[in-house]
């Protein structure tokens, strides 16, 4: 018997970013990497991230959220998933604000409408050893990395930012002209990224609008990635391509990202959707260690 047998869950999405939310506060049990992979194996429950709500890490603190990728690895941040967690925890509650803890630190969430939330994603990390990179680069607005022939690279000189996860952003003329499904795995696992990286193609439409396609570390091609949208706006501001407040358009829809000058925090605003509720079928965990 697995401790997750018959546990309730929410199947949600944030802008098409497929999310499973499971609230294990007070249950005395936890998700494991093997259990996360087993849940993703169910066609109905395939997810980009699984958000595990746990008891506070310290007495009296906010709930702790552990974030699982579909391959069973852990993520440091997931903005779209955090909005889903905020909806789940505030459903039927009077307050419109809450704070959750993650391995990245506290994330403050605000309900702006029934299905719209903002998340304070904190401050970007911009130094090469904070991202982290294998090699020292003192200007992370563009590092030496390319795909293709040395004299005619297909992709080159990405900006790199850590927004809870490592991100590499390639600014291109047309995001549809590059086979991200082919290049994404190579770049995610490039030796220059010791912790792997999320890979983004970014097309600047205007100083307040950018179009993205994202290969997400541990999940693959995704319809949306909130931390990638945040990282892209930060990179665009640093490269003087974007304003501090911009719309990021992804295949799943739009996010509004603001990199505040007042405190250096990045605020992400967007929608969530509840697809269905259910309980985990014990058959999912057959053969999964308890």
Q: Do 158 and 75 sit in the same domain of this protein?
A: no
Q: Do 207 and 280 sit in the same domain of this protein?
A: no
Q: Which of 78, 84, 109, 230 is catalytic?
A: 78
Q: Do 150 and 258 sit in the same domain of this protein?
A: yes
Q: Do 280 and 225 sit in the same domain of this protein?
A: no
Residue 84 among the catalytic residues: no
Evaluate whether residue 138 is within a structural domain: no
Q: Do 189 and 249 sit in the same domain of this protein?
A: yes
Tens of each residue's pLDDT in the chain, 290 residues: 888 999 999 999 999 999 999 999 999 999 999 999 999 999 999 999 999 999 998 888 889 999 999 999 999 889 999 999 999 999 977 789 999 999 888 999 999 999 999 999 999 999 999 999 999 999 999 999 998 888 888 899 999 999 999 999 999 999 999 999 999 999 999 999 999 999 999 999 999 999 999 999 988 999 999 999 999 999 999 999 999 999 999 999 999 999 999 999 999 999 999 999 999 999 999 888 87
Q: Which of 84, 109, 225, 230 is catalytic?
A: 225
Q: Do 117 and 173 sit in the same domain of this protein?
A: no
Query: Is the full-model pTM beyond 0.85?
Result: yes
Evaluate whether residue 2 is within a structural domain: no
Q: Do 258 and 277 sit in the same domain of this protein?
A: no
Q: Do 224 and 168 sit in the same domain of this protein?
A: yes
**CB neighbour list of residue 257: distance below 8 Å, 6 or more residues apart:** 229, 230, 232, 233, 245, 246, 247, 248, 266, 267, 268, 269
Q: Domain of 116: which CATH number? A: 3.10.310.10
Evaluate whether residue 199 is within a structural domain: yes
What's the domain range around 108? 8-122+273-285
Task: Give how many domains the chain has, as a whole number.
Answer: 2
């Amino acid at each position: 018997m697995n401790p997750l047998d018959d546990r309730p869950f929410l199947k949600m999405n944030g802008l098409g970013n497929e999310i499973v939310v499971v609230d294990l506060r007070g249950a005395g049990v936890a998700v494991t990497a093997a259990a996360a992979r087993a849940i993703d194996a169910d066609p109905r429950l395939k997810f980009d991230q699984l958000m595990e709500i746990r008891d506070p890490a310290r007495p009296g603190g906010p709930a702790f959220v552990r974030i699982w990728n579909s391959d069973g690895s852990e993520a440091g941040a997931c903005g779209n998933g955090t909005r889903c967690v905020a909806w789940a925890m505030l459903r039927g509650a009077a307050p419109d604000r809450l704070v959750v803890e993650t391995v990245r630190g506290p994330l403050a969430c605000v309900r702006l409408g029934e299905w719209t939330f903002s998340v304070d994603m904190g401050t970007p990390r911009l130094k090469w050893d904070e991202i982290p990179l294998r090699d020292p680069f003192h200007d992370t607005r563009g590092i030496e990395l390319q795909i293709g022939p040395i004299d005619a690279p297909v992709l080159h000189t990405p900006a790199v930012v850590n927004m809870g996860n490592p991100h590499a952003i390639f600014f291109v003329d047309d995001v549809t002209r590059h086979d991200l499904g082919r290049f994404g795995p190579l770049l995610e696992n490039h030796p220059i990224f010791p912790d792997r990286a999320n890979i983004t193609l970014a097309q600047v439409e205007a100083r307040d609008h950018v179009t993205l396609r994202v290969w997400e570390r541990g999940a693959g091609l995704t319809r949306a990635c909130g931390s990638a949208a945040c990282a892209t706006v930060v990179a665009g501001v640093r490269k003087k391509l974007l304003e501090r407040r911009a719309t990021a358009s992804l295949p799943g829809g739009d996010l509004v990202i603001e990199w505040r000058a007042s405190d250096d925090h990045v605020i992400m605003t967007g929608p969530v959707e509840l697809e269905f509720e259910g309980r985990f079928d014990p058959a999912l965990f057959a053969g999964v260690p308890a």
